[in-house]
């Protein structure tokens, strides 16, 4: 018996939605899907080509035939039992969405190990660390713990809710999950439903990712604000505090206390990374914490600036959706891989 499935129960058709750039390849994703333990005839793979991932996902969802949509990124490698474990979540009441963490590949490079240590830590990501490592057990959750590179949705509910906002990327799933919650639907986090996905390869890419996430968060908040979003403003508050610290110090001698407490938290997080991943990785992770926090804060500021400068330009072109068949390794069917 496969994980999360009653013996003899029929398996529903699942439409796997993968957005890629116009010439992107998905061979590794298809290979992993074929080995995840779900019958290949039960998976409909839709690759949406374009340059607006939110629009691409919506276009594929409208074409899908499956009762459920499994959203993966073009580098998300499904692990054993992924589909069954996510499907089992929908038997638990009024559930519209279920998801799990994305783990790094087993053969990641040294910098990626340090980045993983930061992303999976409380100081680095707070409750969002559950996106990057298994945390706890199956439970009702929210956009704070779920991530779009490993997310399953009830297709009917998704379409009736209007799908993803196409003027948001990233953070389109965060806005959708908040919207579904307001409509009375639940989202579940299944820590055993895993994909593997590489971390950023160098410091510049890591900083750009943090900046992009911060900008996307602010644009999401401006488009459709929810009170739970306020906690995500902490990096912007920290950035403003550091910028004002010389003047604050002149007015109040204890103004440096916040920076000192941050330094202690940084040392504690570095020590935890040393114990979990080894001393070299732990030491290498230390500078990545402030890079993540300050990069996110700068992204929040840039997103706020877009309120006055106007929205970012989005690709107006219609996505091209292709249906690909899962085939044995080395064979090609139904389109490019």
Supply the pLDDT for residue 313: 64
pTM (two decimals) = 0.92
**CA dist 217 to 38, 93, 206, 231, Å?**
34, 30, 17, 11
Please report whether residue 98 resides in a domain.
yes
- Tallying the residues shown for the chain, one arrives at 337
Which residues, at least 6 apart from 318, have a Cβ–Cβ distance to it below 8 Å? 50, 59
- Is 284 exposed, middle or buried (CB count within 10 Å of its CB: 0-12, 13-18, 19+)? buried
Supply the pLDDT for residue 144: 96
Please report whether residue 88 resides in a domain.
yes
Which residues, at least 6 apart from 20, have a Cβ–Cβ distance to it below 8 Å? 26, 47, 48, 49, 56, 74
Supply the pLDDT for residue 8: 55
Q: Is the pLDDT of residue 99 over 80?
A: yes
pLDDT band at 310 (very low <50, low <70, confident <90, very high): low
CATH number at residue 186: 3.90.550.10
Please report whether residue 289 resides in a domain.
no
Supply the pLDDT for residue 6: 44
The predicted model gives 78-84 an average pLDDT of 98
Supply the pLDDT for residue 142: 96
pLDDT band at 312 (very low <50, low <70, confident <90, very high): low
User: Average pLDDT of the chain?
Assistant: 93
The predicted model gives 310-336 an average pLDDT of 69
pLDDT band at 334 (very low <50, low <70, confident <90, very high): very low
DSSP states of 168-232: --SSHHHHHHHHHHHTT-EEEE-TT--EE-PPPSSHHHHHHHHHHHHHHHHHHHHHS--GGGGGG
Residue 204: both structure tokens together: 């510049």
Q: Is the pLDDT of residue 1 over 70?
A: no
Residues β-bridged to residue 245:
none
Which residues, at least 6 apart from 79, have a Cβ–Cβ distance to it below 8 Å? 32, 36, 103, 194, 195, 196
Would you give the distance in Å from CA 167 to the centre of its chain? 18
Q: Is the pLDDT of residue 332 over 50?
A: no
Percent of the chain past pLDDT 90, that is, above it, reads: 88
Count Cα atoms within 13 angstroms, Cβ side, for 192. 14
Cis peptide bond upstream of 170, omega within 30: yes
Nearest to 13 by CA among 46, 43, 57, 36: 43
Q: Is the pLDDT of residue 97 over 60?
A: yes
Please report whether residue 175 resides in a domain.
yes
Supply the pLDDT for residue 287: 97
- At residue 27's C-alpha, the angle toward residues 25 and 28, to 5°, is 110
Supply the pLDDT for residue 333: 43
186-189 and 95-99 beta bridge pairing: parallel
**CA dist 334 to 20, 78, 210, 258, Å?**
16, 20, 36, 57
Total count of domains within the chain? 1
Q: Is the pLDDT of residue 180 over 70?
A: yes
Please report whether residue 30 resides in a domain.
yes
pLDDT band at 306 (very low <50, low <70, confident <90, very high): confident
Instruction: Specify whether the CB–CB gap between 266 and 286 falls below 8 A.
Output: yes
The predicted model gives 13-36 an average pLDDT of 96
Percent of the chain past pLDDT 70, that is, above it, reads: 92
The pLDDT tens digits for 230-289 are: 999 999 999 999 999 999 999 999 999 999 999 999 999 999 999 999 999 999 999 999
Please report whether residue 216 resides in a domain.
no
Supply the pLDDT for residue 328: 56
* Spatial separation of the C-alpha atoms in residues 113 and 254, rounded to whole Å: 36
Q: Is the pLDDT of residue 211 over 60?
A: yes
Q: Is the pLDDT of residue 335 over 60?
A: no
264 by DSSP, 3-state: which? helix
Please report whether residue 192 resides in a domain.
yes
Residue 148 structural domain: 14-112+127-198+313-324
Q: Is the pLDDT of residue 201 over 80?
A: yes
Please report whether residue 279 resides in a domain.
no
332 by DSSP, 3-state: which? coil
């Amino acid at each position: 018996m496969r994980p999360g499935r009653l013996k003899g129960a029929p398996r529903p058709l699942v439409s796997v939605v993968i957005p890629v750039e116009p010439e992107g390849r998905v061979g590794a994703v298809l290979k992993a899907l074929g080995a995840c333990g779900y019958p290949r005839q039960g998976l409909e793979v839709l690759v949406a080509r374009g340059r607006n991932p939110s629009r691409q996902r919506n276009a594929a969802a409208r074409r899908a035939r499956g009762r459920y949509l499994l959203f993966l990124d073009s580098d998300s490698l499904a692990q054993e039992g992924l589909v069954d474990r996510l499907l089992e979540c929908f038997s638990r009441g009024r559930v519209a969405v279920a998801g799990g963490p994305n783990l790094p590949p087993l053969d990641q490079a040294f910098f990626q190990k340090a980045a993983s240590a930061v992303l999976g830590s409380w100081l680095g990501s707070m409750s969002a660390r559950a996106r990057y490592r298994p945390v706890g057990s199956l439970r009702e959750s929210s956009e704070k713990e779920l991530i779009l590179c490993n997310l399953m949705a009830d297709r009917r509910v998704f379409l009736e809710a209007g799908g993803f906002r196409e003027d948001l990327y990233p953070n389109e799933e965060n806005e959708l999950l908040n919207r579904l919650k307001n409509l009375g639907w639940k989202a579940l986090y299944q820590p055993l439903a895993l994909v593997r996905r590489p971390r950023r390869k160098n410091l510049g890419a890591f900083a750009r990712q943090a900046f992009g996430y911060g900008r996307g968060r602010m644009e999401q908040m401006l488009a459709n604000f929810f009170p739970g979003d306020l906690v995500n403003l902490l990096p912007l508050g920290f950035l403003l505090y550091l910028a004002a610290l010389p003047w604050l110090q002149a007015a109040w001698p204890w103004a440096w206390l916040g920076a000192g407490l941050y330094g202690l938290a940084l040392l504690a997080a570095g020590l935890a990374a040393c114990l979990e991943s080894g001393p070299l990785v732990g030491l290498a992770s230390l500078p990545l914490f402030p890079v993540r926090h300050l990069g996110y804060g700068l992204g929040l500021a840039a997103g706020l600036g877009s309120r006055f400068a106007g929205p970012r330009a989005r690709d107006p072109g219609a996505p091209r959706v292709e249906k690909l068949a899962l085939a044995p390794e080395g064979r090609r069917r139904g389109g490019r891989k």
